[in-house]
Amino acid sequence: MLEVRNLSIAFKASVGLKSAVRNIDFIIRPGEILGLVGESGSGKTITSLGVMGLLPPNAVVTGGEVLVDGVDILKLPPADLRKLRGRHIAMIFQDPMASLDPIFTCGDQIVEAILLHEPIGRANARRKARELLEKVLISDPDRAMRSYPHELSGGQCQRIMIAMAVACRPRIIIADEPTTALDVTVQKQVLELLRELNGEVGAAILLITHDLGVIYEVADRVVVMYAGDKMEEATTADLFAAPRSDYSRALIDSMPSLGRNAERLPVIERDPSGKVSSVRPEPRPRPASAAPVLSEGDRPLLEIRDLCKSYWIKPSPLAVPVEMRAVDRVSLTVAPRTTLGLVGESGCGKSTLSRAVIRLYKPDSGQILFKGKDIAALSDKEMRPFRREIAMVFQNPYGSLNPRQTVAQLVEAPMVVFADGDAAKRQRRVRSLLEAVGLPATAAQKYPHEFSGGQRQRIAIARALALNPSLVICDEAVSALDVSVQAQVLNLLKDLQAEFDLTYLFISHDLSVVEHVSDTVAVMQKGRIVEYGPVAEIFGNPREPYTRMLLDAVPTVGSMRGGKAAP
């Protein structure tokens, strides 16, 4: 049993301490799953590291107790605490592939974890490791034993991590965003596995996540955290039926969920007194200055015909390379001022497709008709005028902005590349773009690290709009953001679409987001489009089994899976 009492953690700042987590308390009983939910910066990960005694050197526990079976582990000497880790308290991390040492085989790493706490001999440990891999339902346990982490998929690596975590039958398992990096279908399997194993091992599980759908499906009780404070603790059913705190209500509201295709997503706002509320902002009116909506008839802005792109890979060192069709005879059309949502699991070819459209790759065959002109085979020079028409917003707002440039320089860059106007005109354009994406004018002189993830994505969007493109490709543009920030950015994208006559190719693995933003949807599997049509049709009445499976795997509030009763 894990009991956390009044735990407070602070970061060492240049002057004194900066409080990160204040007076958190909760209890997890054996066999129970407690969900800890909150947005980034809410203190949920730092709480879990505090419980493990693994706080980074710049963080200190300023008060409270962490009781494991009645013993306060915060008072234990480091050596004793270390012996508890892995044996009594195990942890599962967000990025499974990065959490395994790349130069040891998976088998060796599980064996190592067993031998650390149970000196049963290498041969016995190997046998046990193999049994564990069978238990976590890995497809080929013998192969997995001798594989290096990079040879396995993310889902398989997470199974390895889970096998390692349950190896010594710990009493407490802390799972920090265990499925965030995984596809929905894999997420579903991993969550089911965690639940099942827990029935057997009887550990107390602390499940940390930002995804309310995941909480809904597997947690028994929930603790909601916001900005370092515990907002609410409730059973899962109660939380979703009648959230008590304003924050929980706002959080639940701002989540786009399947079948609730509201035009605007509510966002979370906090007034100066600290009171949290959920606000559903009105769409921005189309400015009078905007060009009138032209009726271009039914001519699509983008039409893709029979597009193919292959990679050649060697299955083994001496083998002849075989063709891997990343994009296999894909045909799609996107009408102007609409959004095409492209969904599929990782590796299905959706990013390859988008990069072919923006001509980062040359496709092997097929046509890409942009405003009626085939750009598939253009040379780099011929492609140049089209580059200003097609812009891209990438997934990671931390990696896609040069940290050494100011926001003004970043947003101005495309105009400089295309020698658009003089410096003064460009500066005016930067100001109006920043305003359009909802950033203050003072942002222009700052650097990317001074902004939050959501703000950075706004900067990236402003940059994408700098040359007045007609097509914007959003490659997982909101996947790295918290739900409430995601809601803000999604609202922004809709506003901008109306304001600037934008057409979006919106790529995401998140089906609820795609349902929310798209007019038409294409479902991609192994390089092919398996289903394609208006959003209501695809989500309301999917014909393909693959689409049904994807939809079914999305953890959704209000569903009745995971053997739980409806709230």
Task: Kindly tell me which of 101 and 200 has the beta carbon lying closer to other proteins.
Answer: 101
Q: How far is the CB of 141 from other proteins (least distance, A)?
A: 16
Question: Can you tell me which of 102, 274, 403, 563 binds other proteins, judged by CB under 8 A?
Answer: 102
Q: How far is the CB of 111 from other proteins (least distance, A)?
A: 12
Q: How far is the CB of 557 from other proteins (least distance, A)?
A: 30
Pairing of strands 339-343, 503-508: parallel
Per-residue HEC secondary structure of 40-92 comes to: CCCCHHHHHHHHHCCCCCCEEEEEEEEEECCEEHHHCCHHHHHHHECCCEEEE
Whether the Cβ atoms of residue 178 and residue 207 lie closer than 8 Å to each other: yes
Residue window 131-150: x/- pattern of binding to other proteins, with contact defined by CB under 8 A: -----------------x-x
Whether the Cβ atoms of residue 105 and residue 147 lie closer than 8 Å to each other: yes
Task: Kindly tell me which of 57 and 274 has the beta carbon lying closer to other proteins.
Answer: 57
Give the span between the Cα atoms of 85 and 103, in whole angstroms.
23
Chain-centre distance of CA 323, in angstroms?
30
Position 52 contacts other proteins (CB under 8 A): yes
Give the span between the Cα atoms of 244 and 235, in whole angstroms.
12
The interface region with other proteins, picked from 260-268, 311-319, 321-329, 458-466 by CB under 8 A, is: 311-319
One-letter amino acid at 514 equals: V
The interface region with other proteins, picked from 178-186, 285-293, 312-320, 401-409 by CB under 8 A, is: 312-320
Whether the Cβ atoms of residue 313 and residue 322 lie closer than 8 Å to each other: yes
Give the span between the Cα atoms of 507 and 496, in whole angstroms.
17
The interface region with other proteins, picked from 81-89, 361-369, 419-427, 532-540 by CB under 8 A, is: 81-89
Count the site residues for other proteins by CB under 8 A.
32
Question: Can you tell me which of 54, 61, 237, 549 binds other proteins, judged by CB under 8 A?
Answer: 54
Name which of residues 314 to 333 contact other proteins (CB under 8 A). Answer: 316-318
Give the span between the Cα atoms of 508 and 476, in whole angstroms.
5
Task: Kindly tell me which of 207 and 535 has the beta carbon lying closer to other proteins.
Answer: 207
Question: Can you tell me which of 87, 329, 431, 528 binds other proteins, judged by CB under 8 A?
Answer: 87
Q: What are phi and psi of 101, to 5 degrees?
A: -65, 120
Task: Kindly tell me which of 109 and 254 has the beta carbon lying closer to other proteins.
Answer: 109
Give 112-146 as a DSSP string.
Answer: HHHHHH----HHHHHHHHHHHHHHTT-S-HHHHHH
Tokens of 330: 């894909």
The interface region with other proteins, picked from 6-14, 109-117, 291-299, 505-513 by CB under 8 A, is: 109-117
Question: Can you tell me which of 12, 18, 75, 83 binds other proteins, judged by CB under 8 A?
Answer: 83
Question: Can you tell me which of 26, 93, 532, 546 binds other proteins, judged by CB under 8 A?
Answer: 93
Position 117 contacts other proteins (CB under 8 A): yes
Position 294 contacts other proteins (CB under 8 A): no
Give the span between the Cα atoms of 520 and 331, in whole angstroms.
14
Task: Kindly tell me which of 151 and 382 has the beta carbon lying closer to other proteins.
Answer: 151
Position 12 contacts other proteins (CB under 8 A): no
One-letter amino acid at 338 equals: T
| CB burial of residue 89 (10 Å; 0-12, 13-18, 19+) | buried
Whether the Cβ atoms of residue 105 and residue 124 lie closer than 8 Å to each other: no
Question: Can you tell me which of 7, 21, 66, 113 binds other proteins, judged by CB under 8 A?
Answer: 113
Q: How far is the CB of 81 from other proteins (least distance, A)?
A: 9
Position 161 contacts other proteins (CB under 8 A): yes
Interacting residues toward other proteins by CB under 8 A? 52, 54, 82-87, 90-91, 93, 95, 98-105, 112-113, 116-117, 148, 150-151, 161, 164, 316-318
